Amino acid sequence: MKNKNLFLKTRLLLMILSLMVLGVSFSAEGAIDGVISSSNHFTLTAKSGYIDTPEGGHLFTWGYALNNANMQYPGPTLLLKQNDVVTVTLKNELTVPVSIVFPGQPDVAATGGVPGLLTMEAPPGGTVDYMFTASQPGTYTYYSGTMPELQVEMGLVGAIIVRPSTNPSTQAYNHASSAYDREFLYLLTEMDPEIHRKVSEGRMNEVDTTTFFPVNWFINGRSLPDTLLEAPSLLLPSQPYNIVPRMRVGERVLVRMIGGGRDFHPLHLHGNHHKVIARDARLLESTPGTSGADLAEMLFSTTVASGQTTDAIFTWTGENLGWDLYGHSFADPLVSNETFAETTLLSSLSSNAFSTSLTVADASGFPATSSFRAIVWSGTFPGTTREIVRLKRSFGNTFTITGRGLEMIPLTQGNVEASNWPSGSRIAYTDHGRPVPVKLPDQLDLTNGMFWSGSPFLGTAGPLPPGEGGFNPNSGFFFMWHSHSEKELTNNNVFPGGLASMMIVEHPDPLIAPFADNPNITVVP
């Protein structure tokens, strides 16, 4: 790539521009932010404060703070290990009684405070201790058990992650079917500002939670575009968590979804299907403890129900696009995920032949589509002759190659046309070197998105008119992960906003797309 220098310079400029304009910093995204206690003792203080919403809203909020820090929304994400014996001390600085319930945790012992309906409560100025053993790994929530119809709305909600005893940093559960490369939290909530206004004005007896009508929606306590802002951010002192999932091609991303409010949200993940492996901190398995997630479902939208948690694995390879997502020329080397269906042609295929057969075993991995593209070559790729063919997979135990030269003329090395393909030649199902099959419209006929790189190819920037694009420093693929109740893509009557984030698929090469997961983990004694 002769323009590499220019390309790198452009990217740097874009990155600086992004930092200047949006305040987007990609330094603090990734993994899951939260708090770890070396003694498994967390102190949360219920207090009031304000959160900011992108349309200019300023909502009076009650939240759980870590020790004596700012009120935060949501509460601190508690990062636990399986079998931790955990104590959570709740101090109450609010003027109403408050408590915590831990759904999914068995045998929670509460000491101190005063009896409430669901659990022991901390009266104003008082404290209460909760103790439990995090016996099962998974994704959980915690929230107030005191007038929860008001107090959860007011902000008293948070997430708990219990890591398994087996491979705690690479698996969600004690089974390899839950293995992941990166993980992200989607704690979904909503708010009705009217309730917050009345509470802030002390008009408690006018608050009617049955007429609840939310107009602000949140992921991890923020609404688009604040979801993409750095975490933590000085601009949002009470909303320390963001949501900017990033991955490299082929990685497995664990998405931990929590319905933290009272409404259901259909969370739609652009880019690919996701495999739902667990609900409410239990693997979807036919034989608990042994079979792994053999009851997993593949979905493109997950209903995130209130009070429910869902774990899903998302991956993206770009396979089967029908064109080369890296914009390779045919002579470029194959990259790893382009050879996944590679097999060996045991019979020879002469240049005049229009069909040959592969055994089922050889052809496994080839798609069951009626027609697809492949490369045949012998010796070392790409240093030898090779040819592009189209394959047609037919029913029965054999698979037939048809359409030699249909799509492109046979390609050659050193001006020698491939005459036949000897026994032992290799064949790969691939889009390697295939151009985008359509001509793109004139630039003036297009509106370019702020995250559009100007090029269809991953890791490549293209020309854009001044002022368009510019927020995609590595030329990744941005996919919106959002509520498909489209009404929720607003911030109190202002579009766009709300329950939406952008997930970024980055080029596999760290030189082209440098980034690292740097979760903000607070460690307390």
Q: Which is nearer to other proteins, 100 or 325 (CB)?
A: 325
Min. distance of Cβ 157 from other proteins in angstroms?
21
Of residues 430-469, which lie at the interface with other proteins (CB under 8 A)?
Answer: 436-442, 444-452, 456
Min. distance of Cβ 14 from other proteins in angstroms?
15
Min. distance of Cβ 439 from other proteins in angstroms?
6
Q: Which is nearer to other proteins, 45 or 177 (CB)?
A: 177
Of residues 43-82, which lie at the interface with other proteins (CB under 8 A)?
Answer: none
Q: Which is nearer to other proteins, 124 or 465 (CB)?
A: 465
Q: Could you give the C-alpha distances from 164 to 107, 182, 252, 291, in angstroms and in order?
A: 19, 15, 18, 16
Q: Which is nearer to other proteins, 43 or 491 (CB)?
A: 491
Min. distance of Cβ 149 from other proteins in angstroms?
20
Interface with other proteins by CB under 8 A: which range of 88-96, 342-350, 363-371, 415-423? 363-371
Q: Which is nearer to other proteins, 81 or 268 (CB)?
A: 268
Min. distance of Cβ 68 from other proteins in angstroms?
36
CB atoms within 10 A of CB 521: 13
* CB burial string 138-164: b at 16+ within 10 A, e below: bbbbbbbbbbbebbbbbbbbbbbbbbb
Nearest to 186 by CA among 271, 92, 312, 88: 312
Of residues 301-320, which lie at the interface with other proteins (CB under 8 A)?
Answer: 301, 303, 316-320
Contacts of 60 (CB under 8 A, 6+ apart): 48, 49, 50, 196, 197, 199, 200
CA separation for the pair 503, 367 (Å, rounded): 27
Q: Which is nearer to other proteins, 131 or 436 (CB)?
A: 436
* Total residues in contact with other proteins, by rule CB under 8 A: 77
Q: Which of 294, 342, 509, 517 binds other proteins (CB under 8 A)?
A: 294
CA 214 to chain centre: 25
| Cross-strand partners of 188 | 219, 259
Q: Which of 221, 477, 501, 507 binds other proteins (CB under 8 A)?
A: 477
* Contact map string, positions 78 to 117, toward other proteins, x by CB under 8 A: ----------------------------------------
Q: Which is nearer to other proteins, 77 or 492 (CB)?
A: 492
Identity at 242, one-letter amino acid code: N
Contacts of 142 (CB under 8 A, 6+ apart): 75, 78, 88, 100, 101, 102, 103, 157, 158, 159, 160
Residues for the chain: how many in total?
525
Min. distance of Cβ 325 from other proteins in angstroms?
6
Min. distance of Cβ 275 from other proteins in angstroms?
7
Q: Which is nearer to other proteins, 266 or 519 (CB)?
A: 266
Q: Which is nearer to other proteins, 2 or 439 (CB)?
A: 439
Q: Could you give the C-alpha distances from 143 to 45, 103, 325, in angstroms and in order?
A: 13, 9, 44
Q: Which of 502, 506, 513, 520 binds other proteins (CB under 8 A)?
A: 502
Beta strands (DSSP E) in 305-347 are 309-315, 343-345
CA 384 to chain centre: 41
CA separation for the pair 159, 79 (Å, rounded): 9
Q: Does 331 bind other proteins (CB under 8 A)?
A: no
Q: Which of 323, 330, 340, 381 binds other proteins (CB under 8 A)?
A: 323
Q: Which is nearer to other proteins, 107 or 445 (CB)?
A: 445
* CB burial string 330-340: b at 16+ within 10 A, e below: eeeebeeebbe
* CB burial string 212-236: b at 16+ within 10 A, e below: bebbbbbbbbbbbbbbbbbbbbeeb
Do 367 and 319 meet the contact criterion of CB atoms below 8 Å apart?
no
Min. distance of Cβ 13 from other proteins in angstroms?
20
* Contact map string, positions 247 to 276, toward other proteins, x by CB under 8 A: -----------------xxx-x-xxxx-x-
Of residues 143-202, which lie at the interface with other proteins (CB under 8 A)?
Answer: 177
Q: Which is nearer to other proteins, 421 or 451 (CB)?
A: 451
Whether omega for the bond prior to residue 410 falls within 30 degrees of 0, making it cis, is no
Of residues 405-424, which lie at the interface with other proteins (CB under 8 A)?
Answer: 406-407
Q: Which of 84, 297, 509, 517 binds other proteins (CB under 8 A)?
A: 297
Contacts of 501 (CB under 8 A, 6+ apart): 186, 219, 224, 227, 228, 243, 244, 245, 480, 481, 482
Min. distance of Cβ 142 from other proteins in angstroms?
25
Min. distance of Cβ 524 from other proteins in angstroms?
38
Interface with other proteins by CB under 8 A: which range of 14-22, 106-114, 144-152, 322-330? 322-330
Nearest to 75 by CA among 53, 95, 86, 91: 91
Of residues 480-499, which lie at the interface with other proteins (CB under 8 A)?
Answer: 480, 484-487, 489-490, 492-496
Q: Which is nearer to other proteins, 318 or 382 (CB)?
A: 318
| Cross-strand partners of 54 | none
Q: Provide the token pair at 50.
A: 């304000």
Of residues 365-404, which lie at the interface with other proteins (CB under 8 A)?
Answer: 367-372, 390, 393, 395, 403
Q: Which is nearer to other proteins, 106 or 396 (CB)?
A: 396
Q: Could you give the C-alpha distances from 523 to 79, 134, 163, 359, in angstroms and in order?
A: 10, 18, 16, 57
Do 91 and 81 meet the contact criterion of CB atoms below 8 Å apart?
no
